[in-house]
Structure 1
Amino acid sequence: MTHVRSRGLDTGPATRGPRLVELDALRFVAAFAVMSFHYMAASKSLWGDYPTALFASVNRVTTLGILGVELFFLISGFVILMSAWGHSIGDFVVSRVSRLYPAYWFVVIALFVMYTFAGVKGFDPGLSLRDYLINLTMLQGGLGVGHAGAVFWSLWVELRFYILVGLFMLFGITLRRCLGFMTGWLILVVAAEATHNDVLTFLFMPRQAPYFIAGMAFYLIHRFGSTLVLWAFVAVSYGLCLLAATERVKGRVDMIGFEHFPAPPEGAIIAITLIFLLIAAVSLGWLRWLRWRALTTVGALTYPLYLVHQNVSAVLIPGLKDSVGRWPLVGLTMAVSIALAYLVYRLVDKPGQRWLRAALGASLDRIRLRGGRSGPPPPAEETRAATQSKEASVP
């Protein structure tokens, strides 16, 4: 293994290198896995029968699509540390808010209209106008209000991860401090699991944190090279992720029975191992041969796709299941979801990000001109690392 560059222990922001389009590809893989799970393994209320029976030939694979979100979390750990390194907390907040909210606001409003005025029943959250307004903040998970979209639970997890990273940024990000941050978080994860303490569980997310920590370790391997310490973080996180994933899948099996959700523990182990191997390949540069420029757009539309896909199925599947074959209907629903996601990205998300980033950036500049700062000044640049655009966070 190569050693960490001695001068890189406290390095600041990397100069811009080639974009990691392989992460864009993996984000779409994650979204496709989640979409396949929802359409072919988890939507009995839409089909009128267990989807795993209707799509029996692929049910051992589609049931494991439930773990596509875990791939999102791994990518997020990698990308968010990359995005935060060498930037002020103010810049980080502007980046995250402008990335998350424009498409999200549009989808929340669309869901309110769809379930209030269009008579759609599938996945209706049964929320009041007040609840939808609270959903616009993305804080409903912490306020005891239901999610307007069933997939929004993961955004609440992501948001708490961003807050932890923002707090970490107040101390300035260096390699040594990253190792300390990751060690402390792992200790708190173990404490939360051992004690089942509600406060520790809420703050430190023991079932999701190992994915974020592993992603951060993979980014450090990508940036500084392989070391035994960094791979030890990956190994410990991997073990905790196996525990979390097998228990998550088992919970689903226990709820509806193995006959209707045929996902054995070894399947979850294989899935988690595969996604760890994929991120390891990114961190080691083994996927640098991916150069298809369209992957940038594919990665960018993944977030709108994640937000809209389940509710598209709530419209199309009940309305067409009696007149269209189930396989063509799944294909059609996927195609419509991807097309709609592209339109949301082009017409709402991209211009909305640009506008919100400019508005928030101008406000941040005014604060700085009045004598305030949003964090420590970035350290000096020393290393060159690949970059990822502001559109690359997950989901």
Structure 2
Amino acid sequence: MGPDRALGSASGSALDRARPRGAAAAAKGRRLVELDVLRFVAAFAVMSFHFMAASKSLWDEYPTKLFEPVARLTTLGILGVELFFLISGFVILMSVWGHTVGEFAVSRVSRLYPAYWFAVLMIFIMYRFSGVAGFDPKLSDGEYLLNLTMFQGAFGVGHAGGVFWSLWVELRFYVLMALFSLVGITMRRCLVFLVAWCGLALLAELTQNETLVFVFMPRQAPYFIAGMAFFLIHRFGARSGAFVPWLLVAAGYGMSLYAAMERVGERVRLVGIKHYPAPPEAVVVAITVVYLLMAAVALGWLRWVRWRRLVTLGALTYPLYLVHQTISAVVIPAYRDVVDPWPLAAITMAVSIGIAYLIYRLVDKPGQRWLRARLGALLDRSRRSRPRGGGGISRTTTAIPAQSPEASVP
């Protein structure tokens, strides 16, 4: 069977005619609470990595020595970011399907920026007007202002927060998705797009061409590609379209193993396996577990996760991701000489989660509502000002899955 036949024809493909069924049909009309849980698991893994495995400068000692019983787990917490990318691939395809580019942009901007602006302002005030030194990005006022755009990576300017690098990756993914949406998203086109991206990411990795690496992100693309393939399986059912989405998941898994072992391996080479006990086989297990969890979501095996309070847990994940490292720079050095490491790590985690919840309730939630309303009004005015019959992209009537697009970032 040739590629064309496997993917179907443009006009009559069985893939394009597929209707949600199986897990997708069962999930229709409800939020995927299981993704909120996975997002919090990812954020907690990253927080554990920063507090208990990575930050020697905070403890004045290798944290894996202080927390040796869990060191083999906390060192792998670095891969929580990769789980975020998988979830993002799943949810961003969900949120852009059937929406115009303008609607997608309003959704993403209103979701990302309120909490992010607060985090940048918080970091600026802390390092300008306190004696805190840990993780100081040493930026000028102008560089902090540029950080407010979230595009500082495009200008070679450092990130105000150590975790902000992943947001720059996310933004580039959003641009690719916005461009893809201009041609109209169908099942067949989505598969072609993913196969092409997979090939171009491999080419970028092999050639290390700067432009190709920047655009196609070979170390992060496998997670986005697999996440999107998982969404196709979720939306159209495990058997519609036969094997192509699963082949993409398999390709993403293989490429992810390489990317993850390279990323963790850099840490091991930097400080040694003794101080960073994360051997390659542990990385393989971690990535395999992450992919199995996403497969369980796609196939509907986690539909039993329905407790509504978990939605709030997922919602505070983004503020937690943004500020936890900054909070640790304040709390841990101040108390490491008077509080034992284990309770101090637990206290720092609790403080971080508490502050993240306050940011979510007082800044992020109302900020999203305010920004979405104003950007939505601008979008409506833009539509009304277009000449009737103009060349604007009309909104399709494709059914959108019930999952909120807000679950797509840390």
Smaller-chain TM-score bracket: over 0.9
Is 1:368 aligned to residue 368 of structure 2? Answer: no
Equivalent position of 2:293 in the other structure: 278
Q: Secondary structure of the equivalent of 1:41?
A: helix
1:366–1:12 CA distance, 2 compared to 1 (3 A): farther
Of 156, 162, 173, 1:144 maps to 156
CA-CA distance at 1:159 after TM superposition: 0.4
Contact 1:249 1:263 in 2 (8 A): yes
Equivalent position of 1:30 in the other structure: 42
Is 1:295 aligned to residue 295 of structure 2? Answer: no
Of 227, 237, 243, 2:252 maps to 237
Equivalent position of 1:249 in the other structure: 264
Q: Secondary structure of the equivalent of 2:30?
A: strand
Q: Secondary structure of the equivalent of 2:54?
A: coil
Return the alpha-carbon distance in structure 2 between the equivalents of residues 84 and 386 of structure 1.
Answer: 11
Contact 1:10 1:174 in 2 (8 A): no
CA-CA distance at 1:388 after TM superposition: 1.9
Equivalent position of 2:93 in the other structure: 81
CA-CA distance at 1:386 after TM superposition: 4.3
1:30–1:374 CA distance, 2 compared to 1 (3 A): farther
Q: Secondary structure of the equivalent of 2:372?
A: helix
Of 372, 377, 389, 2:394 maps to 377
CA-CA distance at 1:41 after TM superposition: 0.2
Return the alpha-carbon distance in structure 2 between the equivalents of residues 75 and 284 of structure 1.
Answer: 14
Contact 1:11 1:174 in 2 (8 A): no
Equivalent position of 2:371 in the other structure: 356
State the one-letter code of the partner of 2:393.
Answer: P
Return the alpha-carbon distance in structure 1 between the equivalents of residues 188 and 376 of structure 2.
Answer: 30
Is 1:204 aligned to residue 211 of structure 2? Answer: no
Equivalent position of 2:335 in the other structure: 320
Return the alpha-carbon distance in structure 2 between the equivalents of residues 375 and 296 of structure 1.
Answer: 36
State the one-letter code of the partner of 1:18.
Answer: R
Return the alpha-carbon distance in structure 2 between the equivalents of residues 92 and 105 of structure 1.
Answer: 20
Contact 2:99 2:396 in 1 (8 A): no
Contact 1:89 1:374 in 2 (8 A): no
State the one-letter code of the partner of 1:83.
Answer: S
Q: Secondary structure of the equivalent of 1:9?
A: helix
CA-CA distance at 1:389 after TM superposition: 1.8
Unaligned runs of 5+ in 2: 1-6
State the one-letter code of the partner of 2:374.
Answer: A
Contact 1:11 1:380 in 2 (8 A): no
Contact 2:47 2:325 in 1 (8 A): yes
Tell me how large the CA RMSD over aligned residues is. Answer: 2.0
Contact 2:13 2:188 in 1 (8 A): no
Return the alpha-carbon distance in structure 2 between the equivalents of residues 347 and 20 of structure 1.
Answer: 24
Return the alpha-carbon distance in structure 2 between the equivalents of residues 331 and 84 of structure 1.
Answer: 39
What's the CA shift string for 1:293-327, capped at 9, x where partnerless? 10110010000000010011000000011111111
CA-CA distance at 1:387 after TM superposition: 2.2
Is 1:391 aligned to residue 406 of structure 2? Answer: yes
TM-score normalized with structure 2 length: 0.92
Is 1:176 aligned to residue 188 of structure 2? Answer: yes
Equivalent position of 1:329 in the other structure: 344
Return the alpha-carbon distance in structure 1 between the equivalents of residues 13 and 168 of structure 2.
Answer: 38
Equivalent position of 1:124 in the other structure: 136
Of 51, 72, 75, 2:63 maps to 51
What's the CA shift string for 1:67-106, capped at 9, x where partnerless? 0000000000000000000000000000000000000000
What's the CA shift string for 1:8-56, capped at 9, x where partnerless? 6167999961110000000000000000000000010000000000001
CA-CA distance at 1:374 after TM superposition: 9.3
State the one-letter code of the partner of 2:92.
Answer: I
Is 1:338 aligned to residue 353 of structure 2? Answer: yes
Return the alpha-carbon distance in structure 2 between the equivalents of residues 273 and 254 of structure 1.
Answer: 23
Return the alpha-carbon distance in structure 2 between the equivalents of residues 168 and 212 of structure 1.
Answer: 14
Contact 2:320 2:352 in 1 (8 A): yes
CA-CA distance at 1:394 after TM superposition: 1.2
Contact 1:12 1:379 in 2 (8 A): no
Return the alpha-carbon distance in structure 2 between the equivalents of residues 11 and 88 of structure 1.
Answer: 22
Return the alpha-carbon distance in structure 2 between the equivalents of residues 106 and 380 of structure 1.
Answer: 36
Contact 1:192 1:201 in 2 (8 A): yes
Contact 1:89 1:375 in 2 (8 A): no
State the one-letter code of the partner of 2:167.
Answer: L
Unaligned runs of 5+ in 1: none
Equivalent position of 2:324 in the other structure: 309
Of 1, 9, 16, 1:9 maps to 16
Of 112, 127, 133, 2:145 maps to 133
State the one-letter code of the partner of 2:139.
Answer: L
Contact 1:312 1:337 in 2 (8 A): yes
Alignment of 1:219-238 (within 5 A): 219-226=231-238, 227-238=242-253
Return the alpha-carbon distance in structure 2 between the equivalents of residues 228 and 378 of structure 1.
Answer: 30
Q: Secondary structure of the equivalent of 1:285?
A: coil
TM-score normalized with structure 1 length: 0.95
CA-CA distance at 1:225 after TM superposition: 1.5
Return the alpha-carbon distance in structure 1 between the equivalents of residues 367 and 18 of structure 2.
Answer: 33
Equivalent position of 2:113 in the other structure: 101
Q: Which structure ranks higher in relative contact order (CA pairs < 8 Å, sequence separation ≥ 6)?
A: 1
CA-CA distance at 1:7 after TM superposition: 6.2
Contact 2:92 2:405 in 1 (8 A): no
